[in-house]
Structure 1
Amino acid sequence: MLPVSINMAFQTSGFPVCKFIACFLLALLAAADGRDKGFRRFSPVEDTKQKAVAQEQWFTQKLDHFNGADSREWKQRYFVNEAFYRPGGPVFLMIGGEGPANPAWMQSGTWLTYAEKLGALCLMLEHRFYGASHPTDDLSTANLRFLSSRQALADLAHFRTVTAAARGLTNRKWVAFGGSYPGSLAAWFRLKYPHLVHASVSTSAPVHATVNFPEYLEVVWRSLASENAECPLLVKEASDTLLQRLNDPTTYGNITKDFNLCSKLQIQTEMDAAYFLETLAGSFMDVVQYNEDNRGFEGVTGTNITIKVLCGVMADASLGEPYARYAAVARLMMDTFSVKCLDASYSTYLRDMTNTSWVGPAAGGGRQWVYQTCTEFGFYQSTDSPNQPFTGFPLEYHVKQCADFYNISAEQLAEAVAQTNEYYGAYDIRSSRIVFPNGSIDPWHALGITQDIAPALPAVFIKGTAHCANMYPARSEDLPQLALAREHIFSLLHQWLKQ
C-alpha cells in the first residue's frame, strides 16, 4: 500500500512524472505525478483490450453517504469477470485504491486462481477520486472533503447492496480482496459491514495509522542488509556526503551533472534540500517495497531492478566513492524508466500538487493520496530514526506539505490520525474471517498484522517476500513459503465459505 511524500520525480517531455509508494492494484501502480505519501508505485497502464474482456461498467453512486439531504450522484467505474462463476458460487470483490483500477487484475492474479476453484463471480470497484471515477468537477480542497476511507467503504456497501439485488446475488457469500491501502479497506469493510461481506483477504495492509513512520526506512535498512551487510552502510555514507555538499553552493553544478538534473540545483529552503534527498532515496524505497514481486503482467516496467541490483551498484568500487555509486543508481533508474532527466525542484512539485484540474499533472493520484494522508493516515516515512540509511527529510518536511497543499495544520493532522485509529481499531481489530498476509521484506508490514489476533483473524507472515507478493500470479521461481502461503489462504477461504 501503505504509504509518503513524493519520490522519484522524473521529467519526460515537459511534464513531471513522479513515483510514489503503493502496492497492487490499488491503483495498481498507477501513475500520478505527485503522490507518494503512502504507497510507492510506478506508471499506469490502460489496456483497451483488457477493458473489453473485463467488461468495464459504470455504477450510479452517492456523493455523500453521510448526508441524507445531499442527493447528488456520480458514475463509478467497475469491472466484471464472469468466466469462473458457477450458480451458487461466491462473489469476489477486489477493492481499488489510490490510482486507476487496472483491468489486468481481471485477467491474472492469485484471486482468479481461487475464483476458478470456487466458482466465484469477480468484480473490481475503482476507488472514488482515482482513475476514471470522478465524483466532482475538480480536485479542489473543498471537493476533496468527499474523499475518505469512510466514504469509500460506504461506496463498497452501496455497490454490494445494489449489485446483489440486481444480479440475484443477495444470498451469495461475498469476499473482499485488497492489497496495501485497499488491503486495509478489505479488513475494514468486513469490520464495519459484517452483514454485507462474509470474509476478507487483507494483504500488506497498514491498519495502524501514524503521523510519523520512520520504521519504514528501518525495514529498508534491514532489507538491504539481507542482501549485503555493507549495502546500507554505503548508502548512508553516500547520503551523508550529499547532504554535506548541499551546504556548499559551489558544489551545485557538479551535483546537477552527477544526478542528471533537469535544471541547475537550487537549494533556497529546507524543503528544497529535503525534496531532493527524498527523491533520491525513493529509488531504494521503491525497489525494496516491490523487490522481486511478479508485477510484469500489469505492464509495469523496472521489475528487473531488485535489491540485489542496487546493492551491486553500491558495492562497485570501480565507480568511485559511495557518493558516485549513489549517483549511478539514480542514472540507472532514469535509464530504466526512459526519462531524460531528474526534476528535483520542490517548487515544481508544489505547483503540480496544487493544480486542481482533473487533467493536472498530479491528478493521476498524487494530489488525492497526499490529501488522504493529511486527513486520515499520516504514514510519513521520515529520516527521524538513526537506524536507517538516509538523511535530510524529517517529519517536519512531510507535515509542511499538508499546509502547503491543503492548508491543514500539524494539529489537525495529528487529530485526524488519532480519529482513524479510534474508528477502525488499528492493530486491535475485533472481527472474524479476515486473513492478513504480509511480507518480511515489505516495509509496510511494520504497520500491519503479522501475528494471529484470534483463530478467525489469522496472520500469514511470508519471509523473504515484499509488498503484496501473494496477490501476484504464481511462477516457478516463487519461494516455497510464498506458494505455501497462497495455499493456506485458499484453505482458509474454502473453510470460511462453508460457515
Structure 2
Amino acid sequence: MKTTSLGLLALGVLLLGLATPGASSLLGRFRRGRNKNGFLPPPPIPEGKERLGEQWLEQPVDHFNPTDTRIWSQKYYTNFEFYKEGGPVFLMIGGEGPASQGWMYSGSWYDNAKQLNAALFQVEHRYYGYSHPTEDMSTENLVYLSSEQALADLATFTIAMQKEMGLQDNKWIVFGGSYAGSLAAWYRLKYPHLAHGAIATSAPVDAKVDFREYFDVVRNSLATASEDCNIAIKAANEEMETLLLDAAGWGVLSERFRLCSALDATIQDDVSLLFEALADNFAYVVQYNNELGSTNIELVCGIMQDESLGTPLDRYQEVNRILLNEFGETCLEHRYDVMIKAMQSSKWEENMDGGRAWVYQTCTEFGWYQSSDSEEQPFAHQFPLDFFIDMCQDVYGTNFTKELLYKGVDRTNAMYGGLHPDVTRVVFPNGSIDPWHSISILVDLGSEVHAILINGTAHCADMYSHSPEDPPELDRAREEIFNLIQKWLS
C-alpha cells in the first residue's frame, strides 16, 4: 500500500479523538497510521467481552437555525456494567475519528468507572466515522462542521439520555483527549449545567495559525536521548537540500526514500511535502513515543547517531525505511497534486480517515499548522506556513483565504478563552514529550482548574489503563485525576 503524506494537521489523533482520540497534523492524516493530530488506535475489545450494539440518536443538522428541520443520526455506545443507581455518568467525547468499542472496555476512565459505579457513554463526532449529517462532504455541506455544532450535539445527547434513562440527577463527567480534550473543557465552559466536571487530556485549547512550537518540542524531546540526534537530523536535511540542486540529486532522493514517483524539485509544493513527510517520521515517534509499539525516541535517535550506518542522510533514510515497513507502505507519496485530489473528494466512503473534515476545521477554526518556520528545529525550512495556508484554497476553494483563517482562529479564542478559559472543575493532563502540550494549560488556573504535566510521557498517555512499563509519574497522574473526580462527586 502506498501512502500520501500530509503531516500537518493534527490533530492531530487529535485522541484521541479517541475514539477517537484527536488535534492533528494536516499532512499526517494521509500517512497510514501517522496522525500527528492525535488520533490514537483504541484498545482492543478484551477477550470474553461482548461486542456492544451501535446506537443512534437523531440530531438537528443545524442547531442554530430553528427553521432548519433536517435531522441525521449520530452514533453512540453505552455500557452500564458498573452502574449503580445514583452513580455518576462518564461521557467520552469523540474527536476526529470513528467511535470504537475498545474504549468501552478499557482505559483509565473505565477503571475509574468500576470504582465509582459509573455509567459509560461514548459519542461519535459529527462528520467523523459513521456520523454523517449531510449527503456528502462537499464544501457547501461542511458548513455544519464546527466545534460549536459538536458541543450542541453533546448537549442534545446529554438531555436525551437524562430523559430516556432517568439520569437527570446524576453528575456527568466528560472525558476527551487531544481535540476531543479541548471539546471536554469547552463543553464544561459552555454547558456547565450539563457537565459537572471535565478531564481534558492533551487538549490544545490555544488556537493559532502558525504552530511552529510543535517542531521545537519535537527537537527538545529528541534531545532527551541526545543532542547528537538533532545534529545528525540537521546534517541529513542539509545533504537533502544539496541534492535538490540538480536532476541527478533528485534521482538519488527518489530512490533513497522510496518515493512513489520520481521527484521533480522544480515543483516546490512537492519538495515541501517530501521534507514535511520525513520530518513527520520523527514527529510521529515523538508524539506517541512508547505508546504505539517499539518505534520510540531511543530507537530513532540510536539510528541517527550510529555512524556505522553511513552518513547522516543514510541514517535518515534508514528511519524512513523502518517506518514505511512498520505500516506496510510500499512507497512514500510526495506529490502535492495527488494529496490535493484525495482531499477534494466529497464521498463519505473515501473520507473514513477523517482527513477532509479535519483539515476543514483547521482552515476555519484552529490553524495549528506545524510549519518549519522556527529557527530552533533541525528539519530545514522547506514547509513554511504559506504552504499550509495555500492548501485551504486548493482543497476547498478561493473563499478560504488567509484572512478567513485568521478571523476564524481569533473567533475560536474569543469564544473559548484560549489559554485562559473561565471554567471550574476541569483538569488538564499533558505529557512533557508531547508537542501538543505547548498550546495547552500547564499551570493551575485557580483552585478548581488543575494542570498536570507528566514528565517523560507523550500524547494522551494517561487515558490508557495502567501498564507495568508505565513510569511512576504517569501512575501518579492517573491517581490525581481519580482523586479529583472523587472530590467533584462528593
Same fold by TM-score greater than 0.5: yes
Equivalent residue for 1:33, pick from 27, 30, 33: 30
Matched, 1:380 2:369: yes
CA root-mean-square deviation: 2.2
Within 5 Å, give how 1:13-412 maps onto structure 2. Answer: 16=4, 21-26=12-17, 27-28=19-20, 33=30, 39-41=37-39, 53-293=51-291, 303-360=293-350, 362-391=351-380, 392-407=382-397, 408-412=400-404
Give the aligned residue type for 2:303.
V
Q: Please say if residues 34 and 349 of structure 1, whose CA atoms lie closer than 8 Å, have aligned partners that are also in contact.
A: no
Q: Give the deviation of 1:228 after TM superposition.
A: 1.2
Correspondence 1:436 to 2:428: yes
Give SS of 1:76's match.
strand
Deviations 1:428-479 (A, max 9, x none): 1111100110110001000000100011001111111111111011111111
**Which secondary structure state, in structure 1, belongs to the residue aligned with residue 449 of structure 2?**
coil
Deviations 1:317-338 (A, max 9, x none): 1221101110111110011111
Cα distance between partner residues in 1 of 2:463 and 2:327? 24
Q: Percent identity?
A: 45
Measured in 1, the distance between the counterparts of 2:405 and 2:48 equals: 39
Residue 472 of structure 2 is matched in structure 1 by: 480
Quote the offset at 1:34 in angstroms: 6.8
2:6–2:273: 8 Å Cα contact kept in structure 1?
no
More moved, 275-284 vs 42-51: 42-51
Matched letter for residue 375 of structure 1: T
For 1:131 and 1:48, the matched residues in 2 are separated by 22
Q: CA deviation at 1:395?
A: 0.4
* Secondary structure class of the residue paired with 1:359: helix
> C-alpha separation between the residues in 1 aligned to 2:208 and 2:419?
12
The aligned residue for residue 11 of structure 1 is 2
2:416 paired with 1:424: yes
**Pair 1:48–1:438, CA change in 2 (3 A):** closer
Provide the C-alpha distance between the structure 1 equivalents of 2:375 and 2:165, rounded to a whole number of angstroms.
Answer: 55
1:408-433 alpha-carbon deviations (Å, 9 max, x no partner): 10111001000000010001111110
TM-score w.r.t. the length of structure 1 is: 0.92
**Distance change in 2, residues 1:184/1:51 (3 Å):** farther
CA apart distance, 1:46:
9.4
Q: Residue 456 in 1 paired to residue 448 in 2?
A: yes
Q: How far is 1:268 from its partner?
A: 3.4
Q: Which amino acid aligns with 1:346?
A: Y
Q: Unaligned 5+ residue runs, structure 1?
A: 1-9, 294-301
- Corresponding residue SS for 1:335: helix
User: How far apart, CA to CA, are the structure 1 residues paired with 2:240 and 2:109?
Assistant: 44
Contact 1:38–1:373 under 8 Å retained in 2: no
- Pair 42,115 (structure 1): closer, same or farther in 2 beyond 3 Å: closer
Q: Distance in 2 between matches of 1:316 and 1:208?
A: 38
Q: CA deviation at 1:50?
A: 10
Deviations 1:48-80 (A, max 9, x none): 999963332111111100000001000110011
Residue 494 (structure 1) aligns with: 486
TM-score normalised to the size of structure 2?
A: 0.93
Q: Is the 8 A contact 1:436 1:449 kept in 2?
A: yes
Equivalent pair of 1:22/1:180 in contact (CA under 8 Å)? yes
Q: Deviations over 1:236-284 (max 9, x none)?
A: 1112221232232221221111011111122332211111110111111
Please tell me whether the aligned partners of residues 288 and 306 of structure 1 are also in contact (alpha carbons under 8 angstroms).
Answer: yes
- Confirm whether residue 471 of structure 1 aligns to residue 463 of structure 2: yes
Q: Cα deviations across residues 162-197 of structure 1 (Å, max 9, x unaligned)?
A: 111000001110000000000000000000000111
Q: 1:442–1:435: structure 2 CA closer, same or farther, 3 Å change rule?
A: same
User: For residues 148 and 478 of structure 1, what CA distance do their matches in structure 2 show?
Assistant: 36
SS of residue in 1 equivalent to 2:441: coil
Question: Contact between 1:37 and 1:380, CA under 8 Å: does it hold in 2?
Answer: no
Does the C-alpha gap of structure 1 residues 465 and 45 become closer, same or farther in structure 2, counting only changes over 3 Å? closer
Q: How many residues align?
A: 477
CA contact (8 A) 1:37 1:370 kept: no
Per mean C-alpha deviation after superposition, the further-off stretch among 19-28 and 41-50 is 41-50
Kept in 2, the 8 Å contact 1:179–1:203? The answer is yes
Query: Cα 1:29–1:494, aligned 2, differ >3 Å: closer, same or farther?
Result: closer
Superposition deviation, residue 33 in structure 1: 3.4
- Shift in alpha-carbon separation, 1:52–1:150, aligned structure 2, 3 A: farther
The alpha carbon displacement at 1:44 in A equals 8.3
Which residue identity lines up with residue 432 of structure 2 in the other structure? S
Q: Which amino acid aligns with 1:246?
A: L
- Residue by residue, what CA displacement relative to the aligned partner does 1:84-132 show, whole Å, maximum 9, x if unpaired? 1111100000000001112111111000011001000000000000001
Higher mean C-alpha displacement, 48-57 vs 322-331: 48-57
SS at 1:243 equivalent: helix
Kindly indicate whether the alpha-carbon contact (under 8 Å) linking 1:11 and 1:17 is maintained by their aligned counterparts in 2.
Answer: no
Q: Give 3-state SS (helix, strand or coil) of 2:443's partner.
A: coil
Distance in 1 of aligned mates of 2:334 and 2:49: 35
Q: Which amino acid in 1 is paired with 2:309?
A: L
**Aligned partners of 1:109 and 1:472 also within 8 Å:** yes
Which whole-Å CA distance do the structure 1 matches of 2:410 and 2:327 have between them? 38
Residue pair 1:40, 1:286 contacting (<8 A) in 2 also: no
